[in-house]
Amino acid sequence: MSSVCKKCLKTIKRERVVVTSDGRIGCICDRKSSHDLYHKTKETVRSKDVSLKRYGSIDSIIEHVRIGDLATVKEMASMYDENRGYVISKIVMAAAEYDQPDIIVEFYTQYDDAVSQFLHNNDMAGMREFYEKHTRGMDMIAAVIKALVLGNKRAFEAFCTRDIIRNTHEMFMYTAIRDGTYKTLDILLEYEDGDRIGCAEVAAFYGNIDFIKYILNVSRNVETDVMNCMFEAARGNQPLVFRFFHEEYNEVFMKRLDRVFANAELDIDIAIMLHDEYGATSVKRCMLNAIMNGRYDLMVLCHDVWGVECDERVVEEVVRIHANEDLNIAFVDKLCEWGVDTSVIVRMAQKYFDEVIVRRVAEWAV
Is the pLDDT reported for residue 346 higher than 90?
A: yes
pLDDT, residue 36, reads 52
If we measure between CA atoms, which residue out of 243, 246, 264, 267 comes closest to residue 255? 246
Please check whether residue 39 is in contact with residue 16, taking contact to mean a CB–CB distance below 8 angstroms. no
Q: How far is it, in rounded angstroms, from Cα 326 to Cα 329?
A: 10
Distance separating alpha carbons of residues 232 and 287, to the nearest angstrom:
19
Q: Nearest CA to 177 among 207, 216, 222?
A: 207
Query: Whole-angstrom Cα distance, residue 266 to residue 286?
Result: 9
Res 119: pLDDT: 65
Residue 155 clears pLDDT 70, i.e. is over it:
yes
Predicted local distance difference test score (pLDDT) of residue 325? 82
Percentage of the chain with pLDDT > 70? 72
Instruction: Write down the mean pLDDT value for the chain.
Output: 81
> What is the model's pLDDT at position 110?
62
How distant, in Å, are the alpha carbons of 21, 47, 184, 201, 275 from that of 280? 71, 73, 35, 21, 4
Q: 45 pLDDT exceeds 60?
A: no
Q: State the DSSP code for 315.
A: H
Confidence of residue 192 (pLDDT cuts 50, 70, 90): low
| Confidence band, pLDDT 50/70/90 cuts, at residue 7 | low
pLDDT of residue 168: 67
Q: 21 pLDDT exceeds 70?
A: no
**Domain annotation for the chain: domains and CATH numbers:** 1-55 (no CATH), 56-191 (1.25.40)
Instruction: Summarize pLDDT for 221-253 with one digit per residue, the tens.
Output: 899 999 999 999 999 999 999 999 999 999 999
CA distance 173 to 331: 35
Amino acid at 347: R
**Pairwise pLDDT comparison (312 vs 138), residue with the higher score:** 312
What pLDDT score was predicted for residue 341? 92
DSSP structural state of residue 27: P
> What is d(CA 274, CA 345) in angstroms, rounded to the nearest whole number?
31
Mean pLDDT throughout 28-42? 49
Instruction: Decide: 297 and 268 in contact? Cβ < 8 Å.
Output: yes
**Per-residue confidence (pLDDT) for residue 150, from 0 to 100:** 94
pLDDT range class, residue 42, cuts 50, 70, 90: very low
Cα–Cα distance, 327 to 334 (Å, whole number): 12
**Pairwise CA distance, residues 11 & 26, whole Å:** 12
Note if the pTM is more than 0.85.
Answer: no
pLDDT at 81: 66
Task: Give the integer Cα–Cα distance in Å for 73 and 56.
Answer: 9
- pLDDT confidence of residue 101: 94
Residue 49 has a pLDDT of: 46
174 exposure class (CB count in 10 Å sphere: 0-12, 13-18, 19+): middle
Residue 264: φ, ψ to 5°:
-80, 160
What region does 68 belong to: left with phi over 0, alpha with psi -120 to 50, or beta? left
Q: What are phi and psi of 5, to 5 degrees?
A: -75, 160
Question: Any idea which of 7-21, 61-75, 79-93 has the lowest mean pLDDT?
Answer: 7-21
Choice among 86-90, 292-296, 333-337 with the minimum mean pLDDT = 86-90
Tell me which of 98 and 164 has the higher pLDDT.
Answer: 98
The pLDDT value given to residue 15 = 45
Mean pLDDT value across residues 337-351: 93
Provide long-range contacts, Cβ within 8 A and 24+ apart, for 49-56. Answer: 54/79, 55/79, 55/80
- Asked if 345 and 332 count as a contact pair (C-beta separation under 8 A), the reply is yes
pLDDT at 82: 59
Kindly tell me if the per-residue pLDDT of 173 is higher than 70.
yes
